[in-house]
Structure 1
């Protein structure tokens, strides 16, 4: 995320939180997304329901959720990456809410992203693509595929999937497409510079691409479009092998005592009004692909979501620990 804000009366630390005295009357939302601020403000103005936000990076937030175990302190969890939400649903942390989104005017992709469990619901979507600094690659032909990145070995930046839900979603889809062994072998030929291959955040990836040693980056397309909007010499390439959808999804804690208000919050997010409010967000998160019909994305985004693939979340979550450890061992300094 481009920044981590702490909003409302709820103040959190990495693995602990001080709950305000009136929190019993408020919804508590955990999120790693900048869009949560504008969406929550619009929801409260419309309904009068007060919401306390806990804002952390994805890695920190999921660490907090893990530490809370079967007694989560949130009413709603809203993060990117369906694989991690699938795991939390299987663990019983998130409660199935059948029928919650039946009347939502989802796009085709949005409807396909609703899991069978209905324990979490897609709110926005993005994907991972290739960001190219057109000045840095000079006369070289830009890549058209993931495999083409081998030609730029040592100059490719990437986020550490141990700290990023979207990065793990990309890694899992890479292995699903190419096969685990073949995917590992290919990445070992691409990510040959540890100073660039295990970067902790999207913002740091952008910095390395614009002013640092990276000429290209495996990056979330929301961040790429934000750089394009800032007039940086960046172009976006959607690899010919295809790309996988990375939904931001919201789910309700099984132990929530504010279930009706929580359902109303998620249903608001899944309206034109809610989605339009999120588009006011500054920075990369505001460049998402909408999942609600009739809403147009920001900036230069092209609507190519009909071709995006859907990750097998159960496969990804089953291999999460192993694949993250492999990436750490190979590519993180």
Structure 2
């Protein structure tokens, strides 16, 4: 399908589905679904398009969805606290490392989605179908203020030099979902699975000594860049692209993006609570299939067009927003089964030693 024509077609689908979503929650909940029981789904999510997708799903199926929207870190903390009494039906956040850890703990229901995945999407799928990708970004994009600086690093090692002292900012992995996979990816790149943690700890210790500044999430790091607290930020590609798209360059602020080798593939992933009852499990499977359908993918592009909607599709022939650059050719995919279970220890170390 031609990309422009495809996007137009998907746009029509999005418009019609969003229009239906304007119906009241009561009307949606009372929509006939045959003789099957209907229960509200509880979606824990940290995606800019989660609410609009949930509304469109309800309009399409009559199944109500309660969205609990927060940053990834607090959501994972909430899930851990609810381990013996889960309150969630689905989790939808960026990064498959967290899902690999939940899978290892036996908390995810396997489901093989009804979708035709492209090459990148297929590479993210697990053999046990424990979770499902819905799109992807990369971590990190280096965004910098070209109105203030002309020096552009070509490697992560460059950031340890005097040209970047006190000028680099990044997100807090205990708050920002994209940031632990970035740290794990850098560890994987520096030392592999055998020595990556130690090599990564050494690198971030040096980066802190060179004046690294840590902010809660993408938005906070971007604000620091806009206000001159830093001149370089290591953030999610969608947030960086959105900043460039929506910013009118001035003499004081001109955001530009570079990618240091290698960026880490960062999929948006959705999983189902294995402890949910049978009705909610069946409904959650329908939600996943909807999100990956042409209508669902179209709606996702409308939810946050200067942020999370700037993702590369993992579904074959699905379009993307026109402002999205080509998918990067130089990227790495880390093993979530290895790095996922290490997340708690690595984040705790970062919080204690780097923040």
CA distance in 2, matches of 1:25, 1:304: 39
**Which one is further off, 301-310 or 60-69?**
301-310
The reply on whether 1:131 has 2:143 as its aligned counterpart is yes
The reply on whether 1:325 has 2:348 as its aligned counterpart is yes
Once the 2 structures are TM-superposed, how far is the Cα of residue 261 of structure 1 from its aligned partner?
1.1
CA deviation vs aligned residue, 1:265-292 (integer Å, no higher than 9, x gap): 0011112221111111234112122212
CA deviation vs aligned residue, 1:18-75 (integer Å, no higher than 9, x gap): xxxxx97211111111211121122122222211111122121111111100431111
Q: 1:316 aligns with which of 339, 348, 354?
A: 339
1:284 alignment partner, SS class: coil
Look up the match of 1:212.
228
Q: 1:185 aligns with which of 196, 202, 221?
A: 202
Look up the match of 1:235.
256
CA distance in 2, matches of 1:49, 1:74: 15
Structure 1 residues not aligned, in runs of 5+: 1-7, 10-22
Look up the match of 1:164.
176
2:68 alignment partner, SS class: strand
CA distance in 2, matches of 1:309, 1:280: 28
CA distance in 1, matches of 2:245, 2:322: 6
Look up the match of 2:284.
262
Q: 1:96 aligns with which of 107, 110, 127?
A: 110
Look up the match of 1:54.
68
Look up the match of 2:81.
67
CA deviation vs aligned residue, 1:252-311 (integer Å, no higher than 9, x gap): 111212111110100111122211111112341121222122233225322225543221
Look up the match of 1:17.
none
1:244 alignment partner, SS class: strand
Are the equivalent residues in 2 in contact too, given 1:198–1:328 (CA < 8 A)? no
Look up the match of 1:222.
238
CA distance in 1, matches of 2:84, 2:332: 32
CA distance in 2, matches of 1:67, 1:331: 26
Q: Please show how residues 109-128 of structure 1 align to structure 2 within 5 Å.
A: 109-128=120-139
Q: Looking at CA atoms only, which structure, 1 or 2, has the larger radius of gyration? A: 2
CA distance in 1, matches of 2:61, 2:98: 30
Once the 2 structures are TM-superposed, how far is the Cα of residue 124 of structure 1 from its aligned partner?
1.6
2:147 alignment partner, SS class: coil
Once the 2 structures are TM-superposed, how far is the Cα of residue 186 of structure 1 from its aligned partner?
2.7
2:215 alignment partner, SS class: coil
1:217 alignment partner, SS class: strand
Structure 2 residues not aligned, in runs of 5+: 1-23, 26-36
The reply on whether 1:203 has 2:214 as its aligned counterpart is no
Instruction: Check 1:223–1:237 CA distance in 2 against 1; reply closer, same or farther (3 A cut).
Output: same
Look up the match of 2:15.
none
CA distance in 1, matches of 2:76, 2:184: 18
2:144 alignment partner, SS class: strand
Instruction: Check 1:158–1:299 CA distance in 2 against 1; reply closer, same or farther (3 A cut).
Output: farther
Once the 2 structures are TM-superposed, how far is the Cα of residue 329 of structure 1 from its aligned partner?
2.4
1:290 alignment partner, SS class: coil
Q: Please show how residues 284-295 of structure 1 align to structure 2 within 5 Å.
A: 284-295=307-318
Are the equivalent residues in 2 in contact too, given 1:287–1:301 (CA < 8 A)? yes
CA distance in 2, matches of 1:316, 1:255: 24
CA distance in 2, matches of 1:306, 1:45: 38
Look up the match of 1:303.
326
Cα root mean square deviation, aligned: 2.1
Count of aligned residue pairs for this structure pair: 305
1:125 alignment partner, SS class: strand
CA deviation vs aligned residue, 1:235-267 (integer Å, no higher than 9, x gap): 11111x211111111111112121111101001
**Which one is further off, 151-160 or 298-307?**
298-307
